[in-house]
Structure 1
Amino acid sequence: MTDHVTTGHVTTSRGDTVAYDLRGEGPGLVFVAGAGPYRAIDPVTTETAERVSEHGVTTVVFDRLGRGDSPADGVLDLERELTAVAAAISVADGGTGRGAVLCGHSSGCAISLAAAHAGLPVTGLVLWEAPLGDDLATTTEWIDEFERRLDAGDVVGATEQFMMDMPPEWLEDMRRSPDFEQLARGSRSQRADGRSLVWATAALEDGSLASVDVPVLATYGTTTFPVMPVSAKKVVAAVPHGELREVEGADHSWEPAAMADELVRFVHATPGT
């Protein structure tokens, strides 16, 4: 596998700088990370983008605001994050306005759904394990407390709150790291994740997710948490053009070769790309 990658920066409509890796030629595909990952620590997404780009697809992997090489000050809310997604789409389609497919991971699924709902030039959505199992009241209470801790400057507490429903060993692994407090400071970039999950949960409950009128492929791993297939089925039932698929993967992460095959198939079958 030969990787021909161009690394660059693009400026959003809000003046933020977004770092990205661009590969391949053809219809566009943008990867939208969930809570935490960025290019330097996410080899799975990088390998997937490499594989997809070898099959006539332009791929963009970008660092979300406040992560990696996309530094950003102030409040990193959902609206601001969507401007970063819009900038990444413009890189993927060469500024033509043709748009791109978004591939969201975890809470990146909710951000991707919000991008399509907001009218960004999104031609299709591939969603990996969208964590949308709770009801709106529970989700809102969880995120309100996360934001309260974040706004108080308690980044460790905010991190613990955000991860409260995740396997406890994940948080324990973070705590054992000598860089735990530095890692916890990354929680400031998770406000957009939290707000997108609140929005998506509300949209599921009130039926407004039906406004996402593009092809949607909701996926989950062969070994996963019980809530993930349930969430994927809820999304597929709520959108006009939904498809459900199990893809090889475990521990909330896909297997790159298997996911690349699905993405190539989906992008080339999606109208407008």
Structure 2
Amino acid sequence: MSALITPRGDRIVYDDLGSTGATTAIFISGAGPTRAEDPVTLATGKAFAARGGRAFIADRLGRGDSIPAGPIDLDAQLEAIDALSREADTPVILIGHSSGCAIAMLAAARTTDLAGMVLWEAPLGLFEGGAPSWWASVRAAIDADDLEDAVARYMVGMPPEWLEELKQSPAYPQIVLGWVPDGEALSTVEERGYRDVLSSVTAPLLALVGSETFPGMTATADELAASASDGRSEQLAGAWHSWEPEAMAERLARLAGLAG
């Protein structure tokens, strides 16, 4: 376990896997578990490291061991990613998962040595009425201190069993406060438009979906790839919003130029 302090004083805890000096994969999770509860990402990082790369798997702010010094918002999350990329001191690949894709897209413009970006099943263009309207509704519930309603509004359109599982978590309903960067990022990306957000990104972009996925995900991946200067959309082994670790590690290695 490693840790760093961002310029604003947030403590970010992360697992550092692989060799110093190697191209570093920085995983940006969505509104999901802590790193300790995410065996898929851990297995992916280990497999990428075994192929000659390096992986940073961090707890998001307010999650697990990462302690915020102030409000958990998009600016704080982007600063945390920037601090991780500087700590790597190598070319980095940003890997966004779900709503983490929108955060990765916004972080890319601040990443000085970006070797590539991978977006796994970005939930963009899928909200009824658009992400800005959806996020305004969630934000209103948070501001009214009705966190249970905020969680329900955030989860609209997702499988109902996901919400029921969340209700069993000891972090429920305060968990929604850690999703503020996700909501702000999704809203910002849709409001600005994919081409504008990606306009400064010259590194390769891979928009990936699983072999079994939700409606609309493939169309979004195609649109994201078309909006980048060097973009591709691909299918990768995985199901229902989760990738297969070995398949992802192999694809990351090829992107990093590590595969033979």
Q: Give the TM-score, by structure 1 length.
A: 0.88
Which residue of 52, 55, 65 corresponds with 2:51? 55
Q: Closer, same or farther in 2 for the Cα pair 1:170/1:55, shift >3 Å?
A: same
- Does residue 235 (structure 1) correspond to residue 227 (structure 2)? The answer is no
Summarize deviations over 1:17-60 as a string: whole Å, max 9, x none: 00000011211111011112221111110011011000111110
Q: How does 1:153-192 map to 2 (within 5 A)?
A: 153-175=145-167, 177=168, 179=169, 182-192=171-181
Distance in 2 (CA, whole Å) between partners of 1:119 and 1:261 is 23
Q: How does 1:1-273 map to 2 (within 5 A)?
A: 7-25=1-19, 26-93=22-89, 98-134=90-126, 138-175=130-167, 177=168, 179=169, 182-204=171-193, 207-268=196-257
Q: Structure 1: which 5+ runs fail to align?
A: 1-6
Q: Is the 8 A contact 2:31 2:99 kept in 1?
A: yes
Flag the structure with higher helix content. 1
Distance in 2 (CA, whole Å) between partners of 1:75 and 1:108 is 18
Summarize deviations over 1:158-214 as a string: whole Å, max 9, x none: 111111121112112333x2x35x232111111100111112212336644333222
SS in 1 for 2:71: coil
Residue 75 of structure 2 aligns with an amino acid whose one-letter code is: E
Q: Structure 2: which 5+ runs fail to align?
A: none
Q: Closer, same or farther in 2 for the Cα pair 1:136/1:234, shift >3 Å?
A: farther
Distance in 1 (CA, whole Å) between partners of 2:3 and 2:72 is 18
SS in 1 for 2:206: strand
SS in 2 for 1:211: coil
Q: Is the 8 A contact 2:132 2:190 kept in 1?
A: no
Distance in 1 (CA, whole Å) between partners of 2:128 and 2:254 is 34
Q: Closer, same or farther in 2 for the Cα pair 1:37/1:198, shift >3 Å?
A: same
Aligned-pair identity in percent equals: 38
Q: Tell me by how many angstroms 1:119 deviates.
A: 4.8
Distance in 2 (CA, whole Å) between partners of 1:138 and 1:80 is 24
Residue 148 of structure 2 aligns with an amino acid whose one-letter code is: V
Residue 28 of structure 2 aligns with an amino acid whose one-letter code is: V
Q: Is the 8 A contact 1:217 1:243 kept in 2?
A: yes
Q: Is the 8 A contact 1:211 1:239 kept in 2?
A: no
Q: Please tell me the root mean square deviation across aligned C-alpha atoms, in Å.
A: 2.0
Residue 231 of structure 2 aligns with an amino acid whose one-letter code is: G
Q: Is the 8 A contact 2:72 2:177 kept in 1?
A: yes
Moved more, 8-17 or 145-154: 145-154
Q: Tell me by how many angstroms 1:90 deviates.
A: 2.3
Q: Closer, same or farther in 2 for the Cα pair 1:203/1:136, shift >3 Å?
A: farther
Aligned length: 257
Q: Is the 8 A contact 2:92 2:115 kept in 1?
A: yes
Distance in 2 (CA, whole Å) between partners of 1:15 and 1:122 is 24
Q: Is the 8 A contact 1:203 1:209 kept in 2?
A: no
Summarize deviations over 1:37-91 as a string: whole Å, max 9, x none: 2211111100110110001111100011110000225421111101110122123
Q: Closer, same or farther in 2 for the Cα pair 1:147/1:74, shift >3 Å?
A: farther
Residue 23 of structure 2 aligns with an amino acid whose one-letter code is: P
